[in-house]
Structures are given as C-alpha cells and as structure tokens.
Amino acid sequence: MDHFLYQNGALHAEDVPLADIAASVGTPFYCYSTATLSRHYHLFDEALAGIDHLICYAMKANSNLAVVKLLGDLGAGMDVVSGGEYARARAAGIPGERIVFSGIGKTESEMRLALSGGIRQVNVESEPEMELLDRVAREMGVTVPITVRVNPDVDAKTHEKIATGKSENKFGIPISRAREVYRMAAKMHGLQVVGIDVHIGSQLVDLAPFEAAYRKVADLTGILRADGHDIKRLDLGGGLGIPYERSNAAPPLPTDYGAMVQGVFSDLDVEIEIEPGRLIAGNAGVLVSSVIYVKEGEDRTFLILDAAMNDLIRPAMYNAWHDIVPLVEPPAGVEMQPMDVVGPVCETGDTFTRARPMPPMLAGDVVAFRSAGAYGAVMASEYNSRPLVPEVLVDGENWAVIRPRPSVDEMLGHDRLPEWMNG
C-alpha cells in the first residue's frame, strides 16, 4: 500500500494534490511520500521483531539526504556502496556504527574515509580487497569489523542485469572457498571477523531463492564457528520485490520474508542485518510528467512526455514496467486506447512502454509513473543536456522541494573550457 491515491478525482501524494506541486515546480519531478517510506521501514522492523536485527536501508535506491535522514531518524542503518554514499549517510546524521559498506570495488581512499568516520562493518568481496583493507586498517591503527560476502550460487530468478548470486556474477567469493578465506582473514591483524554477508539479487518475487541462499549461510555459520570464527552477525542483503503492475499478483510481503528469515536463523543466536532498498523507497515515489504532444503514427499513437529515459532509465534498461496514470482520475468505464508512451530523447530506446491502454489524453495533461521512488532519480543523467529533475517530499499536508531543478546555466557551469580555447 502507498499514499498516492485519488481523492475527489485528483491524484494526491498523501494530502497534497500532485497537480498543485506540478503547478508550482513544473514537470517533470519526482515526489516521495513520508508516510509510505516510514510504513515500509516499520513493516520490516515488525517482521523481524523477535530476533536481534538492524535494517540497513540500501541507499543506492534513493539517496536524497532528506530520504536518508527520514529513515535514519526512524532508527535505520545504511548500506553504502561508495565514498559518496558514505558521505551522504554521515551528512544525514547516520552514525558510523549504523553504516555497513558493501561493493566489489572499494578504493583505498573510500576505505580510509569509512575507517576514519566510523563504520559498523565492511562487507569484503574478494581476497585482494581483504589484503588492502587489512593494510589500510593497520596503517590507521584500527581494527575493522568485517563480513565476507559469499556467493551462494543460487538463481534469484529475476532480470539478468540485477541477479547477483550465481557463480558467473562478479559478486562475493564462491561459498566453496569461504573456509579458506575466513582462515586468511583471521590471520590479519587489521581485521576482526564478525559475520557473513550475502545478497543474491533484486526484485525477487519468490521467497524460495532467498531461503535456499539463507540455508547455505546458516550451514556455513555452523562450519565457520566450528573453525573458531566468531560469527555473530549475518547480513542477508536486500532484494525483496515490489508490485510494479497493480494488476499482477503481489510479491511476498515483508511479513512473509521476516517469518522465513526467523524460521531459518532463530536457533543460531545471531544478529540479523537486512539491506532493503526498493521495497522501502520504490512505491514511496512517483515521477510526474506532462504530455507535450499526442502524435499519430501510421498505425499507433505516441504519447510524447516531457520526462525521458534520462530521468527514468528502468524501462529502457530492464524493460521494466511502471504503471502510468493521469493526475485527473478517468471516469469509470472510459474507453482505453493503446499508446506508445515515449520521451523526447533522440533514440528509439526512449520508450517507456508500447501499446499501453491509456485513457484519452491531450497535450498539457499530466501523468504519474508509479513505483518510481527507487532507482529513479538516482539513476538519472543529463543525457541530451536535460537538467536533472527536481525531487519533492510530501508529509501529510506539507511538501518541500528536497532537490531543486538546476537551471540550464548551472548545468553548463559544470563544464570548463581548456585554457588554450580561451585565448
């Protein structure tokens, strides 16, 4: 459930008509709902009640400072994957002891940043990374808590570009090599082994692959403990999917996921960390866009919007489906017409959807892409020299711009002419 509903025929974000925001900030823009973000955080928190846990929101899904602070204020930790995300988490007031650092290519400077600012744990993904982290920690005179991310070789049954838990994927160390890698880690004086990490992919709509991976992690916990390692914490990654298409059967809920997690791990006396991103932010956001033209092609109608693939890349990149609904509720029983919904960017891939049944649309009408709160704004670019779109946060009747739209001059201001062109 989210808080983007029609009230008196007008699509609202909580208590604010989206048309009011559109009139004030212009389109396109992203809009997020505080109530939905909080609700999703609490759902996970309640689902894991009864087992010691920390929800480390995967900031990559939506890393706006206001969103990060909102979740941090509820008690969330953060899963960061770059020095930039680490800096954002700290700027939003998240203490180091609630930040976990994931990612396969952490650089020395990123390690130094995290170790000097404080870190709950680093999720190590390879032997060379482990060696570098050990050296950096010893040089800095600290001991850094680590887990090793294991690759359980489980098919997450999701889009191939977001599956991470098969042996052919670049993530983690093969679970078959885990004992050897933990033995190596135990000898490194800059590192303190605290647990195991796993993340098998994103937008999973079935619990079975999670459970298969988690059972392997539970078995490994026993083996590593018998080898003498102090495995007290398990980071289970993120990945629980959301219903992008309202007409489809909904994926499992956090409650179902939490029950499964407790079933697998409750006897092990471990602290559980999870790293949900999409489920927290996805349905907490919409992308609002205006119709520029309705264009009749030879055998199809094109709805040309002012938002494009540079603003929301998911359809072009993963063939992802986003529901697209008008801000003005269509009358019941209105005749739908198939339309290709496209953006203005100069490539055919700038197509959000083909032959989508849409109510009658005119230039100037405004639509919302649902489920755009995760992997939307964060994946945007300025392709075609289109300034990044603004972000708005709603809380009840209140709303605020949490990232303004840059002017074209500001965008140009990031470029520099080399000296030899100025003469």
Q: Applying CB under 6 A, which residues contact ligand LLP?
A: 58, 60-61, 79, 102, 162, 199, 202-203, 237-239, 275-279, 314, 318, 374-375
Closer residue to ligand LLP (CB): 256 or 269: 256
Closer residue to ligand LLP (CB): 158 or 221: 158
Least distance (Å) from ligand LLP to the CB of residue 169? Answer: 11
* Two structure tokens written together for 162: 């977001």
Residue 41's φ and ψ, nearest 5 degrees, are -60, -50
Least distance (Å) from ligand LLP to the CB of residue 318? Answer: 6
The SS3 of residue 240 is strand
* Two structure tokens written together for 358: 């849409």
Closer residue to ligand LLP (CB): 16 or 37: 37
Q: How far apart are CA 23 and CA 36, in angstroms?
A: 23
Q: How far apart are CA 198 and CA 234, in angstroms?
A: 8
Least distance (Å) from ligand LLP to the CB of residue 106? Answer: 12
CB–CB of 210/216 below 8 Å? no
Q: How far apart are CA 110 and CA 354, in angstroms?
A: 42
Least distance (Å) from ligand LLP to the CB of residue 12? Answer: 26
CB–CB of 352/322 below 8 Å? yes
Least distance (Å) from ligand LLP to the CB of residue 220? Answer: 18
Q: How far apart are CA 145 and CA 358, in angstroms?
A: 53
Four-point Cα dihedral 263, 264, 266, 272, nearest 10: -120
CB–CB of 179/168 below 8 Å? no
Q: How far apart are CA 342 and CA 309, in angstroms?
A: 9
Least distance (Å) from ligand LLP to the CB of residue 313? Answer: 8
Catalytic residue among 1, 49, 226, 346: 346
Query: Any idea what the Cα angle at residue 354 is, between residues 353 and 358, rounded to 5°?
Result: 85
Closer residue to ligand LLP (CB): 378 or 411: 378
Cβ-proximal residues to 364 (8 Å cutoff; 6+ apart), any chain:
290, 291
* Two structure tokens written together for 98: 């609630």
Residue given tokens 């529901």 in the structure block: 323
Closer residue to ligand LLP (CB): 190 or 241: 241
Closer residue to ligand LLP (CB): 74 or 140: 74
346 is annotated as an active-site residue = yes
Catalytic site residues?
Answer: 346
